[in-house]
Structure 1
């Protein structure tokens, strides 16, 4: 997250109004439109494909321990992926 000086972008009247509530402090102003997690970096798609692969490998008999080693995850993480990922046996998204 980058910071922008209020004086560079806001009118003086608005700054004076905000100073009535908070002065000399850093405040966060949220975006109007919330972006979906992973939409810019494609990380959501990466994890969906990875989790699908894990489910597919587990369905053909690969153990949780081997999957944990292969994907550098804990066995608990593999169990959670298996429990929460919908696997239909079809190709990954």
Structure 2
């Protein structure tokens, strides 16, 4: 997000009205809901995280334990277990019991 000068984009009358409420303050103006981007839409973060999670699950299926995976990916064991459970559910593999 970058800052822009209100005087450069707002009509003078509207600027004066805003100044009545927030003179000199920094304002955050939220995006119109139709213009909002989901997390990761601007970057590849969403895709990269999904791939990481698939990799974790594949390594888990190959025999690596949550503790080893947590160390390899700099995550907590609890996070690794959540990823494994989510991947298992996504593949129709049940509730995750029996890890």
* Smaller-chain TM-score bracket: 0.7 to 0.9
Alignment of 1:32-71 (within 5 A): 32=32, 33-71=35-73
State how many pairs are aligned: 89
- Checking the alignment, whether the CA contact within 8 Å between 1:55 and 1:87 is kept in structure 2 is no
SS at 1:44's partner residue? Answer: helix
Unaligned runs of 5+ in 1: none
Higher deviation after alignment, 78-87 or 8-17: 78-87
- TM-score where L is the length of structure 1: 0.83
Unaligned runs of 5+ in 2: 93-99
- TM-score where L is the length of structure 2: 0.78
Higher relative CO (CA 8 A, sep ≥ 6), structure 1 or 2?
1
- 1:6-31 deviations in Å (ceiling 9; x for gaps): 11121111101112222111111011
Moved over 4 A (4+): none
Is 1:23 equivalent to 2:26 in the alignment? no
